[in-house]
Structure 1
Amino acid sequence: MKANNTKRVLGIILIAVLSSVITLFGYDQINKKRSRAVSGNVGEYVSSFGQDKNVVLTNLTASQGYFDFTEAAEKAVHGVVHVKTKAVREQVVIDPFDFFFGFGGRQQIIPREQVGFGSGVIVSKDGYIITNNHVVEGATEVSVTLNDEREFTAKVVGADAQSDIALLKIDGDNFPYLSFGNSDALRVGEWVLAIGNPFNLTSTVTAGIVSAKNRTNIVGENMGLQSFIQIDAAVNPGNSGGALVNTKGELVGINTAIYSETGNFTGYAFAIPISIAGKVAADLKEYGIVQRAVLGIQVPNIEYLKRYDPKRASELAKIQGVMVEDFSDRSPAKAAGIEKGDIIKAINNVPIRNFGELQYQLSKYRPGDKVKVTVDRKGSEKTFTVELINMQGSTEIIKRPDALKILGATFKALSDEQKRRLGISSGVEVTDVTKDGIFNKEGIKKGFIIMRINNSPVNNEDDVARIVASVAARGVDEDKVILIAGFYPPNGRTQYIAIDLSKK
């Protein structure tokens, strides 16, 4: 009898052990499949920043059955930083004595230091941080404070106004970071968390749902690429550059804009999908500039037509897709066989309903990549393979131009004492000028002090190189002018010198 009981107990234990093994094996396979799915969508960004592909799953619901975001928040909050910037802005001041006593109200331009705040997201253990371009634009100093209150001086590796993304770097190792998620897999109605520093309230977490995807025309025209995730989590000034994470604690977006008449949150906020932000950041890290791929097509300007041809605008609004109205001078789409009047319906089998979605899909690729473009041609579906080109008309990856070679000059940073004696807050000294360089042709000589280029302060050779390279790399149809503000010490007047880099 005891032997039978012993056998029965051993059998139960064996079954339990086998069940546990099978369960663990099944979980491992599911997690591996999920990891492959994640890396398949964001593998490029993961490899660029050395992230661990094994993402830990977190629970959406507590044992009591209600929604529980504590694990996702705890995992993500340590990877979000507080960004502090210092910038010098020129302020025009009228002397009241001159104004009231008839001397014409002479104006003075006085530099004023301004302090700004925002957020950023650590995306690698060695200290790369993604934030918004508008958070650090024009800054003379950038510092970041981690969730554990450690403070670091940050270097701006690169910035891109068109996508409103900037990449920072702090020195160190083994920083907590957020793993990239798959923003394409987000669904309307899905829970998300916004993490940042609104009103300087550090490490703030708010929750909401994805209200819409691929929102366009939300912010000004300076931001050319717009395809936002719309959320109803509370986002306020200071949240810019912070993290939008899913319930697994994965980074799926960079919080960027608020839809509000007051400047504060009134219902909706917008985030840049990580499929865009991650690719831009990877480009800035690897190449110094963003690699943009184009089809070489022209599409109808709906906003123009709404004003001047509302009937046609109404007809175009009914189209599910993007109509090809014309082609650029060098068009890979035309070379592949696409014709005027074709309606683009899909890129690599991803449905396209409007121009924003077309921009969004193309933003994931680089020049030289080949994509399948599906079009509707008078009711007949056709698919073409198009090799995408860069803004300059070739399939090559654009390297960051050698700005110092372009300008034909070398530069030296000024010490704080030199700046104080000169009465300036930013500046670099031109230490040498080559005979055949642009500077020499424009009359800029050795000893000239450059305070700003394109209204952005410069304090070292890297600042000059970054600004000039970003302008020089623009497309063939874009403006390539830099405006230099500087003077000859000790008391030379401020000169403003415009240089067209396209004529170098």
Structure 2
Amino acid sequence: MNAHVRLGLIGLISLTMPLAACAKQDSTSGSAAAIAPTIAQSSAPQIVTGLPDFTRLVEQVAPGVVNIDATIGGPDEDSAAGAQFDGSQGIDESQIPEIFRQIFGPGLQMPGMDGEGGRMRPRGKSMGSGFIISPDGYILTNNHVVDGSSTVQVKLSDGRSLKAKVVGTDQGYDVALLKIDARNLPSLRMGTANSLKPGQWVVALGSPFGLDHSVTAGVVSATGRTQAGMGGPNYVRFIQTDVAINPGNSGGPLLNTSGEVVGINSQIFSQSGGYMGISFAIPIDLAISAADQLKKTGKVSRAMLGVTMNPEISEAMASKLGLPDTNGVLVTSVQPGSGADKAGIKPMDVITEFNGEKVSDYSDLPSRVAPLPPGTKVSLTVIRDGKPRKVEVTLTALEQKAVGDAGGLQDETDSDGTPGASPAVPQRALGFSVQELPESQRQRLGLPEGGVVISSVSRALAAETGLAPGLVVLQVNRSEISSVADFNKAVAGIKKGDVLMLLVQSPRGVRQFVAVTVGGAG
């Protein structure tokens, strides 16, 4: 017998046996029977009255849902997608945004993306879904469904297959706007995701594995799911559902019980490439805003505060910063000339509220800021040295800047071939030592303000904090560091148990704060 079948039978037996035992007790035990009338006569209100019937909803909505086939690469090109997915391989991990790989590891999948469900796909094809948003032929889908495509075909519910023009795409929101040459098309009604609550019924339509106009239903599991982790954009507050979504569902609509679109089905969490109970949809409000911009300008503009953020606030950091808890966003740097800079925000400030709403962590803030138009004025609550204050900030336009590889910091020499760093300064009490940053490295890293480079770290401290040789220390508490002399001055007078807030920069240009407890892990 197949192992999965055996497990399934075992699970079924373990589930039904206790129920059978309860039934036997009711027929033989007077005490158990006496309890039953009390339960039946309870005056508690009936909360759930029955399962919903989605047939009328599907009849009305299905004509506005389309099947999308995108050819990846040119017609004569042996594309990378076609070469990789020969029917026996799984997802191409390089296609998944880094941000999601860090949260979910290899489990997060994008239904319809090249490689997922490769067994069901022709070579060099991307399969997905979409829906009509206006009678004159505008269609919404996911960016990853059409990304890199040379041709896109849209199959309508009436059987017609029409070539589509890609009006514009946006990777940050994973949205694409298509246009087909047709009129009087059945379009779907747009709803809003803002009023969704966990437990609400929702319905998905799409083409899983190419099986067009398939219907699945479930409930909203959670709202406001953000992309925690470092290394990528974090602009979407996803709707999490338990609606069954599979390869080919990407870009299809998520609907409420009124038949209104509340989201675009985009991603699933899976260890197998198939549905495992967790699906994510892009809120329709965000998607429509992006589509309007794509239609008008061909691109999506986002706002920014102009700060970079620490990945976490530890208990030690919260204590040092005078915070009541570890919630909020710790600012690591401020972009010159940005709204945050003009408002006086500084590194080591902690943002705890945005427009009157609590900010839980660093993954929460970008998704609140980015959808707003540049020029919007927002109110922040900022804690500095344990004291909260209100700050008004005018958001500026987000500037996408790739962080390049700045190279290693070890074994460097100046142009004359001599070592560029002065001898290491021992800091036994700290558990690490620093030395001067060579001029060649300073220039390569773009650090006019200077810094000192960590030359050695104790094993215990490295394990506890993540500090490593090669990291550049730019700030100790609120003191700027440009030399070893500055560093020595900043740590003078420290005693066991003190907490130092170090602002460090990696060779790749990523900055973050690290809390070091003096004598804690030396």
Q: What interval of TM-score do these two structures reach, taking the shorter chain for normalisation?
A: 0.5 to 0.7
Determine if the alignment matches structure 1 residue 84 to structure 2 residue 69.
yes
Determine if the alignment matches structure 1 residue 72 to structure 2 residue 39.
no
- Equivalent residue, structure 1, for 2:375: 368
* CA 1:377–1:180: 2 relative to 1, 3 Å: farther
Selected match of 2:245 from 235, 244, 265? 235
- Partners of 2:283 and 2:324 lie apart in 1 by 25
- Partners of 2:365 and 2:53 lie apart in 1 by 36
- Partners of 2:353 and 2:394 lie apart in 1 by 15
Determine if the alignment matches structure 1 residue 290 to structure 2 residue 278.
no
Contact persistence 2:202–2:218 (CA under 8 A): yes
- The one-letter code of the counterpart of 2:143 is N
- The one-letter code of the counterpart of 1:276 is L
- Partners of 1:281 and 1:118 lie apart in 2 by 18
Q: More deviation in 115-124 or 350-359?
A: 350-359
Deviations 1:219-241 (A, max 9, x none): 99566534321110100000001
Deviations 1:287-312 (A, max 9, x none): 1111011000111034xx9xxx9965
- The one-letter code of the counterpart of 1:75 is Q
* CA 1:91–1:66: 2 relative to 1, 3 Å: closer
Contact persistence 1:195–1:203 (CA under 8 A): yes
| Shift, 1:344, TM fit | 2.5
Contact persistence 2:69–2:152 (CA under 8 A): yes
Contact persistence 2:315–2:326 (CA under 8 A): no
* CA 1:343–1:188: 2 relative to 1, 3 Å: farther
Percent of aligned pairs with the same amino acid: 42
Determine if the alignment matches structure 1 residue 175 to structure 2 residue 185.
yes
Selected match of 1:278 from 278, 283, 288? 288
Q: CA RMSD in A?
A: 3.4
- Equivalent residue, structure 2, for 1:345: 352
Give unpaired runs (5+ residues) of structure 2: 1-48, 84-121, 401-507, 509-522
Selected match of 1:333 from 340, 344, 350? 340
- Partners of 1:221 and 1:392 lie apart in 2 by 16
Q: What pairs up with 1:17-416 in 2 under 5 angstroms?
A: 65-88=50-73, 89-90=77-78, 114-217=124-227, 224-302=234-312, 319-377=326-384, 381-392=388-399
- Partners of 2:59 and 2:222 lie apart in 1 by 26
Deviations 1:255-279 (A, max 9, x none): 1111111111011111111232222
- Partners of 2:60 and 2:329 lie apart in 1 by 40
Contact persistence 1:183–1:275 (CA under 8 A): yes
- Partners of 1:84 and 1:220 lie apart in 2 by 32
- Partners of 1:210 and 1:201 lie apart in 2 by 24
Contact persistence 1:371–1:387 (CA under 8 A): yes
| Shift, 1:374, TM fit | 3.2
- TM-score after normalising by structure 1: 0.56
- Partners of 2:185 and 2:324 lie apart in 1 by 48
- The one-letter code of the counterpart of 2:205 is I
Residue 124 of structure 2: SS of its match in structure 1?
strand
Contact persistence 2:225–2:240 (CA under 8 A): yes
- Partners of 1:236 and 1:366 lie apart in 2 by 34
- TM-score after normalising by structure 2: 0.54
Give unpaired runs (5+ residues) of structure 1: 1-63, 95-111, 394-477, 479-504
* CA 1:79–1:295: 2 relative to 1, 3 Å: same
- Partners of 2:171 and 2:304 lie apart in 1 by 18
